[in-house]
């Protein structure tokens, strides 16, 4: 069946394509073509891509003007820096439907309805679910009369949260080990002189976590595929989200502290998402009194009202915020602030904010407003390296620290998403650079061609 790209029949955007059945471009648009043949001129196809004028000129110089083939698509993809694409171009339509579903959760937005959807990591059979969360305004922090309240949980501020998707569960070992595998893969690329990094493409590079110094520590309580991944640093979690974003075309990231609390509260103003009393905690959370052998499989307790599991307990979850013992004083300006602006970006590797409490903690530390400040010196106490690893912790409470994926309905712009994906503090940047210069780090490009490149070296 022949089809022609035209305004009347636009290609449907979709992520996670494979070139055998679909044509994929890095512009955040993936043309779903099935098994059809496309005989449209290149110039017509390019009308649907958000190409800068310079890139358009470069593509038009190509002699490939008859068929939209795999080589052409790859060529176009390589011309576009992923940072431009994910920030400026239309986001993939994954998770959006035109009509309101007859059942299940949905969120009305200007281009349809946000719905739950599943993501399969390209090149693997590992998948996870994303749940739509409506936008709204809420009071962040705890009231002064809340039992067990800490001083750093106030003053309460009004925060505006935009619609977003939130992962149904925390990132699991099944997901995180796909990221960990990149260390050896990047080293192999380097040895073969493939996918070299230069000033023009380094924006698309990430570092992969080095091999664990002491796996027996990290894995003491299990490394089952459905258990939450633990002991990674904030920086390593950020790099994971950049990698996943680059290979799927969807803009995943860590949450701001405000976004995390909004998702955890699920519309409530009580100490926990189920009420003010911890009496029902065993139904909703793994914590010190009921988790003797580490964090059990994700999603094994009841979800909150939004359908999100383990927002309380299991593992505490990274946010992008630097910790401030003065709480939210800097944002207390007498008017609402957007959740993506209610951020104190890290100037040092620690303390940063971890939320939700873990299986190692008592009930009061699992409250919706409770905050945990990270501490690199203590959490890396057993790390003998110098500098200490920017990717891993070696001491508790790190075995109770993981993270969860968030995705905005409207993609963040290039400059803002870069702050979510990359190290913000100079000490982390210096540690990473030192490790790379010493050959003790893995640096590689992440883009839609990565999966095929990995297959090639695996042959």
CATH number at residue 279: 3.90.1580.10
Which residues fall within 8 angstroms of residue 373, CB to CB, at 6 or more apart? 323, 325, 350, 351, 352, 353, 354
Is residue 258 domain-shared with residue 367, that is, in the same domain? yes
Q: CA-to-CA distance for 308 and 287, rounded, in angstroms?
A: 17
Which residues face 316 on adjacent strands?
401
Give this prediction's pTM.
0.82
| Number of Cβ atoms within 10 Å of the Cβ of 134 | 17
Residues 156 and 219 in one domain: yes
Q: Kindly state whether residues 286 and 402 are assigned to the same domain.
A: yes
Half-sphere exposure (Cβ direction) of 332: Cα atoms closer than 13 Å: 10
| Same domain? 52 vs 172 | no
Shared domain check, 277 and 148: yes
Q: Is residue 111 part of a domain?
A: no
226 part of a folded domain: yes
> What b/e string do you get for 158-192 counting C-beta neighbours within 10 Å, with b at 16 or more?
ebbbbbbbbbbbbbbbbbbebbbebbebbbebbee
Q: Is 335 exposed, middle or buried (0-12, 13-18, 19+ CB in 10 A)?
A: exposed
Beta strands (DSSP E) in 264-360 are 316-322, 337-338, 352-355
Q: Look at the block and give the residue holding tokens 């969360």.
A: 133
Please indicate, yes or no, whether residues 69 and 138 belong to a single structural domain of this protein: no
Per-residue pLDDT 10s for the chain (459 aa) are: 332 323 333 333 333 333 232 323 333 333 233 333 333 333 333 333 333 333 333 333 333 333 444 444 444 444 445 444 454 444 468 999 999 999 999 999 999 999 999 999 999 999 999 999 999 999 999 999 999 999 999 999 999 999 999 999 999 999 999 999 999 999 999 999 999 999 999 999 999 999 998 999 999 999 999 999 999 999 999 999 999 999 999 999 999 999 999 999 999 999 999 999 999 999 999 999 999 889 999 999 999 999 999 999 999 999 999 999 999 999 999 999 999 999 999 999 999 999 999 999 999 999 999 999 999 999 999 999 888 999 999 999 999 999 999 999 999 999 999 999 999 999 999 999 999 999 999 999 999 999 999 999 987
Instruction: Check whether residue 66 and residue 146 sit in a common domain.
Output: no
Decide if 115 is inside a domain: no
Residue 122 lies in a domain: no
- If one counts the domains in the chain, the total is 2
**Do residues 24 and 162 share a domain?**
no
Distance CA 188, CA 235 (A): 23
C-alpha to C-alpha distance for 215 and 392, rounded to whole angstroms: 11
Q: Is residue 370 one of the residues assigned to a domain? A: yes
Judgement on whether residues 243 and 337 belong to the same structural domain of the protein: yes
Give the C-alpha separation, 140 to 191, whole Å: 50
Q: Does the bond joining 155 to the residue before it have cis omega, within 30 degrees of 0? A: yes
pLDDT at 66: 35
Residue 404: what pLDDT? Answer: 98
Q: Within this chain, do residues 247 and 171 fall inside the same structural domain, yes or no?
A: yes
The H-or-E segment that residue 168 falls in is none
Q: Rounded to whole angstroms, how far apart are CA atoms 379 and 374?
A: 8
User: Is residue 104 assigned to a domain?
Assistant: no
Domain assignment present for 251: yes
Distances in Å between the Cα of 243 and the Cα atoms of 281, 413, 458 are 35, 17, 20
Q: How many CA atoms lie within 13 A of 229 on its CB side?
A: 24
Return the pLDDT at 458. Answer: 81
Shared-domain flag, residues 238 and 358 = yes
Does 72 share its domain with 140? no
Query: Which of 41, 58, 80 represents a domain boundary (last residue)?
Result: 80
Domain that holds residue 30: 2-80
Query: Would you say residue 119 lies in a domain?
Result: no
CA distance 137 to 442: 41
Q: Residue 349: which of 289, 432, 272 has the closest Cα?
A: 432
* Cross-strand partners of 252: 407
């Amino acid at each position: 069946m022949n089809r022609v790209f035209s305004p009347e029949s636009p290609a449907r955007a979709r992520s996670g394509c494979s070139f055998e059945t679909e044509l994929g471009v890095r512009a955040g648009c993936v043309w779903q073509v099935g098994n059809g043949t496309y005989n449209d001129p290149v110039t017509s196809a390019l009308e649907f891509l958000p190409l800068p004028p310079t890139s358009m000129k470069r593509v038009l110089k190509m002699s490939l003007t008859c068929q939209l083939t795999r080589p052409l698509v790859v060529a176009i993809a390589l011309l576009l820096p992923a940072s431009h694409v994910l920030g400026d171009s239309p986001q993939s339509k994954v998770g959006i439907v035109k009509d309101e579903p007859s059942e299940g959760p949905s969120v009305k937005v200007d281009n349809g309805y946000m719905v739950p959807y599943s993501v399969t990591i390209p090149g693997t059979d590992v998948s996870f679910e994303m749940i739509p969360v409506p936008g709204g305004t809420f009071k962040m922090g705890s009231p002064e009369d809340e039992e067990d309240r800490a001083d750093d949980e106030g003053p309460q501020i009004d925060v505006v949260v935009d619609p977003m998707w939130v992962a149904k569960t925390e990132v699991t070992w099944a997901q995180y080990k796909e990221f960990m595998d990149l260390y050896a893969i990047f080293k192999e690329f380097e040895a073969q002189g493939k996918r070299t990094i230069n000033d023009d493409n380094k924006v698309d590079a990430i570092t992969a976590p080095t091999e664990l110094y002491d796996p027996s520590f990290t894995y003491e309580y299990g490394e089952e595929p459905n258990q939450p991944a633990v002991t990674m640093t904030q920086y390593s979690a950020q790099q994971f989200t950049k990698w996943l974003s680059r290979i799927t075309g969807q803009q995943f990231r860590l949450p701001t502290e405000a976004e995390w609390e909004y998702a955890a509260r699920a519309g409530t103003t009580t100490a926990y998402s189920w009420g003010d009393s911890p009496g029902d905690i065993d139904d909703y959370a793994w914590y010190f009194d009921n988790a003797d052998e580490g964090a059990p499989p994700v999603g094994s307790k009841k979800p909150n009202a939004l359908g999100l599991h383990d927002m309380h307990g299991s593992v505490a979850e990274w946010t992008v915020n630097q910790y401030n013992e003065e709480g939210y004083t800097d944002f207390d300006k007498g008017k609402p602030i957007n959740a993506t602006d209610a951020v104190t970006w890290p100037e040092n590797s620690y303390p940063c904010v971890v939320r939700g409490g873990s299986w190692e903690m008592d009930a009061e530390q699992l409250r919706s407003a409770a905050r945990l400040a990270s501490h690199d010196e203590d959490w890396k106490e057993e790390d003998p390296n110098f500098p200490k690893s920017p990717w891993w912790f070696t001491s508790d409470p790190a075995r109770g620290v993981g993270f969860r994926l968030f995705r905005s309905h409207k993609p963040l712009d290039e400059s803002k998403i870069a702050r979510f994906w990359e190290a913000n503090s100079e000490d982390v940047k210096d540690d990473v650079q030192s490790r790379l210069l010493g050959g003790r780090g893995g640096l590689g490009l992440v883009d839609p061609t990565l999966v095929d490149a990995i297959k090639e070296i695996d042959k």
